[in-house]
Structure 1
């Protein structure tokens, strides 16, 4: 038997534009692939059951795509990263594989796991080939003139744009069909635990569907993206964050498609495409930060001085926010969209996150964990980056004294209250303008709760709490507690 090479899939559940899979298929040896369901690890990372179901369905879809190319995919259920490390060592030895291929992941636990896998492989005499896949430009490769990572988006974007053009080559093709793999005589052919077909009514786990979704966005909505992306009542965004988070698409595929239809330009050109490209660059920025500042993986604020903020312990108010019972229709509609769809419009993510951290003065880490559990597109870099931006604790975040007025945001971005009516149907019978701020009688008739906090009170409370950031604090523990 010709010795195979082992391809390890993680958050890259696709066959097109997969650098590690492409390289493995070029070795002239049969490819055997493996992927792990690490349920205990997923639980520790706070991943919710709906996303787990979608990940398992994506693995099943990948299994079928690889099978059509005679590449077997082993789907193994193990407890955690340590167990997956042991199984990688087992399969390298059992198959007699001398090469291991995988794409890098950037979170601290994942990086530690990969270091140990590489050490194990070296001890077995196995050559490990690692590739960058989640970013167009590898984290650590975009630095300022002093050779340090950027802490602010705008200069990062400028430097990224200067380097990204040559890196934006055509996406890699899927591997060719290989000869059927002959399992070694001493091994029984494993039977993979393939997930049931995806039954999520709103989201597909198919790579082919992700390609179609990308093309439909490019054809139908991308040109108006800059004008319509902030209006949650419109179907104007790509929603590609979900297939991107599963690895059904690569950022290269998205950027390459955008540039093709943007007159060949990565920077400038048509406003809609340029605005969408900027959003993809924000995604890259947050991943670069995660590597440069690993404390972001450890529940720490990017701005350490903000650790002195005295967040409120208010479990009842947090529960009301989670369940969409704040009495602020736009906030409650946003939360209901999350609970029902497993996704939330980006403008609403900012409104909801800022309401929790400023109006209720509840720790951003609680909101981050809740989003992580329910968002199907949740990944640590983007979720943490967005929450810390809203809480004014993160890189290039909103100034701490900038506090969204939910009512003004609602009137501006959902003028007719159409979105509110869709997700808070109790208010649908009200006149459009009243949906933003029902009066007391309307609330009683609709069974809709009173506002959990008055805007001006919540705003002033936040300003008082965040005011410590303008004062030198040498010992946070000795700093007098502000009135909350």
Structure 2
């Protein structure tokens, strides 16, 4: 029997993998991975994400070996080379069918269309499956037949139309009697621009993801509402890197919540339902990139905000990137990002709004910096979050809402635990001074003065936004 190809991308798991399950149901399977490092770099991904991707591939390869499924891998320069590379592998292995799970951003979707067309012209079949989210983009629409622009009605429709079928887990394939073709040797690590920040903090693979999910739901999930906004507490799931690269599926997450929450997703335990809402937010942004593809081309979701008079403040941008703005919570968050490849969600909002509102620097500069450093860097979620904070996107925070970083610090790091950890130069200050050190304390510790005064920055941002015409 001729083998089927399963093309892995950002779905590095064998359990609950739609494309793999469908391919294995048809006959023997050969796995394929195309590493597009130059393309991924052009898309803005940095060493942390690319290293995690590589380690995830190695973990997948080991699991596939236990199933006697060979993994073939190729390095290509860009997505345009994918159709020919896959067609060559199909001819080498005698495969007539290719299965893959769809990706939704503009460039990835165009790549998949070209792969399907190339296979069709060669008399072969390429089949894309919707796997990463519950509803394929276009399935959930407003009463007027449009894509949702606001999260709350989207979430209501998501829950209202949800069926058990959408949450059914796909079986992992059984071990094959023999390998259809010899596997390739393990791939060499990619050449990275920089050194990964903290790979030990992010063990790769679906076993690590499943373990982290279980521990979150058992020990922290029920307290998620009370703890998720406090960066000094381990209150979040820390599952975003595993979801971004598909080492864990949304169905596995939802099924785990159902088991822990009496069969409910939208009611019951407040912590668990709040976490489900965050997963639905992630899906919402995947729909946005399809329904409003201009966001994939560096455009604001709200076109009138393109007229904002962004400042070309190189010194301010560097201070923000390096964690020396003079606002302790902002600086601690940016140092967390640079040292771990991850940032607490509350702090992503605080730091993003500081750049876009306090410094009036184009949100796209911050979006790119985050994507370069985040181990969980995912275009749709990152773009959606940045545009929310900058008041240019869907569900955008009203332009006049501008977080006071000192107040945010006092509220969400009241004992200064997070600040002390990431700003050791301030560790000996009294807690009351940690959030806003005096000039004397700054001089004594070498901590910089604020790059901008909050009231003046707020007034400047309000003036900039008031001049826009929707």
Relative to the length of structure 1, the TM-score reads: 0.94
CA deviations 1:177-213 (Å, max 9, x no partner) are 0121243xxxx864342549x9812111121010000
- Look up the match of 1:480: none
Q: Residue 329 of structure 2 contacts residue 419 of structure 2 at CA under 8 Å; is this kept in 1?
A: yes
CA deviations 1:405-450 (Å, max 9, x no partner) are 0011000000011100000110001001101000001001111000
CA deviations 1:226-285 (Å, max 9, x no partner) are 111100000010010011111100111111111221111121111011100110111111
Q: Residue 60 of structure 1 contacts residue 194 of structure 1 at CA under 8 Å; is this kept in 2?
A: no
- Look up the match of 2:211: 212
Correspondence list, 1:90-109, <5 A: 90-109=88-107
Displacement of 1:129 in angstroms is 1.8
CA deviations 1:136-192 (Å, max 9, x no partner) are 111111011111111001110111111123344332221100121243xxxx86434
Structure 1 residues 189 and 459: alpha-carbon distance in aligned structure 2, compared to 1, 3 A threshold: closer
Structure 1 residues 229 and 174: alpha-carbon distance in aligned structure 2, compared to 1, 3 A threshold: same
Q: For the residues of structure 1 that align with 2:382 and 2:266, how far apart are their CA atoms?
A: 25
Q: For the residues of structure 2 that align with 1:433 and 1:56, how far apart are their CA atoms?
A: 44
Q: For the residues of structure 1 that align with 2:455 and 2:185, how far apart are their CA atoms?
A: 61
Displacement of 1:466 in angstroms is 0.7
Q: For the residues of structure 2 that align with 1:263 and 1:467, how far apart are their CA atoms?
A: 48
Q: For the residues of structure 2 that align with 1:315 and 1:84, how far apart are their CA atoms?
A: 38
Q: For the residues of structure 2 that align with 1:191 and 1:166, how far apart are their CA atoms?
A: 40
Relative to the length of structure 2, the TM-score reads: 0.96
Q: Residue 134 of structure 2 contacts residue 167 of structure 2 at CA under 8 Å; is this kept in 1?
A: no
Correspondence list, 1:65-464, <5 A: 65-183=63-181, 190-195=184-189, 200-464=199-463
Q: For the residues of structure 2 that align with 1:235 and 1:278, how far apart are their CA atoms?
A: 19
Q: For the residues of structure 2 that align with 1:217 and 1:271, how far apart are their CA atoms?
A: 15
Q: Residue 311 of structure 2 contacts residue 362 of structure 2 at CA under 8 Å; is this kept in 1?
A: yes
- Look up the match of 1:25: 24
Matched, 1:62 2:56: no
Bigger drift between 119-128 and 426-435 goes to: 119-128
Superposition CA RMSD, Å: 1.4
For the residue of structure 1 that corresponds to 2:88, the secondary structure is helix
Q: Residue 74 of structure 1 contacts residue 192 of structure 1 at CA under 8 Å; is this kept in 2?
A: no
Structure 1 residues 355 and 80: alpha-carbon distance in aligned structure 2, compared to 1, 3 A threshold: same
Q: For the residues of structure 2 that align with 1:392 and 1:464, how far apart are their CA atoms?
A: 14
Displacement of 1:75 in angstroms is 2.0
Q: For the residues of structure 2 that align with 1:149 and 1:51, how far apart are their CA atoms?
A: 30
RCO (CA 8 Å, sep 6+): is it higher in 1 or 2? 2
Match among 36, 39, 47 for residue 38 of structure 1:
36
CA deviations 1:317-339 (Å, max 9, x no partner) are 10110000100000000001101
Q: For the residues of structure 2 that align with 1:431 and 1:369, how far apart are their CA atoms?
A: 36
